A and B are shown apart, each in its own frame.
Chain A
Amino acid sequence: RKEVEQDPGPFNVPEGATVAFNCTYSNSASQSFFWYRQDCRKEPKLLMSVYSSGNEDGRFTAQLNRASQYISLLIRDSKLSDSATYLCVVTSGTYKYIFGTGTRLKVLA
Chain B
Amino acid sequence: DAGVTQSPTHLIKTRGQQVTLRCSPKSGHDTVSWYQQALGQGPQFIFQYYEEEERQRGNFPDRFSGHQFPNYSSELNVNALLLGDSALYLCASSFDQGQPQHFGDGTRLSIL
Residues of A within 8 A of B (CB): 4, 31-32, 34, 41-46, 49, 87, 91, 93-102
Whether the Cβ atoms of A96 and B48 lie closer than 8 Å is yes
* A residues in contact with B90, CB < 8 Å: 43-44
What is the CB-to-nearest-CB distance from A76 to chain B, in angstroms, rounded to a whole number?
23
B71 within 8 A of A: no
Whether the Cβ atoms of B33 and A97 lie closer than 8 Å is yes
**Once the chains are docked, how many angstroms separate the CA of A101 from the CA of B90?**
15
**Once the chains are docked, how many angstroms separate the CA of A31 from the CA of B99?**
11
B100 within 8 A of A: yes
Taking CB as reference atom, which chain A residue is nearest B108? A41
Whether the Cβ atoms of B48 and A46 lie closer than 8 Å is no
Which residue, of A4, A97, A100, has the highest number of chain B Cβ atoms within 10 A?
Answer: A97
Taking CB as reference atom, which chain B residue is nearest A93? B56
Known: A43-B90, A43-B106. A97 touches B98 (CB 8 A): no
What is the CB-to-nearest-CB distance from B55 to chain A, in angstroms, rounded to a whole number?
6
Whether the Cβ atoms of B105 and A87 lie closer than 8 Å is no
Interface size range of chain B in the complex: 20 to 34
* B residues in contact with A87, CB < 8 Å: 42-43
Q: A95 contacts which of B40, B41, B97, B100 (Cβ < 8 Å)?
A: B97
**Once the chains are docked, how many angstroms separate the CA of A74 from the CA of B88?**
28
Whether the Cβ atoms of A95 and B43 lie closer than 8 Å is no
* A residues in contact with B106, CB < 8 Å: 43
Whether the Cβ atoms of A97 and B45 lie closer than 8 Å is yes
What is the CB-to-nearest-CB distance from B6 to chain A, in angstroms, rounded to a whole number?
9
Whether the Cβ atoms of B100 and A99 lie closer than 8 Å is no
**Once the chains are docked, how many angstroms separate the CA of A98 from the CA of B42?**
9
Whether the Cβ atoms of A45 and B103 lie closer than 8 Å is yes
**Once the chains are docked, how many angstroms separate the CA of A95 from the CA of B103?**
15
* B residues in contact with A41, CB < 8 Å: 88
**Once the chains are docked, how many angstroms separate the CA of A88 from the CA of B105?**
19
**Once the chains are docked, how many angstroms separate the CA of A97 from the CA of B90?**
13
- Show 22 residue pairs from A and B whose CB-CB distance is below 8 angstroms, ordered by the A residue: A42-B105, A43-B103, A43-B104, A43-B105, A44-B103, A46-B101, A87-B42, A91-B98, A95-B48, A95-B55, A96-B56, A96-B58, A97-B43, A97-B92, A99-B35, A99-B42, A99-B43, A99-B44, A99-B45, A100-B42, A101-B40, A102-B41
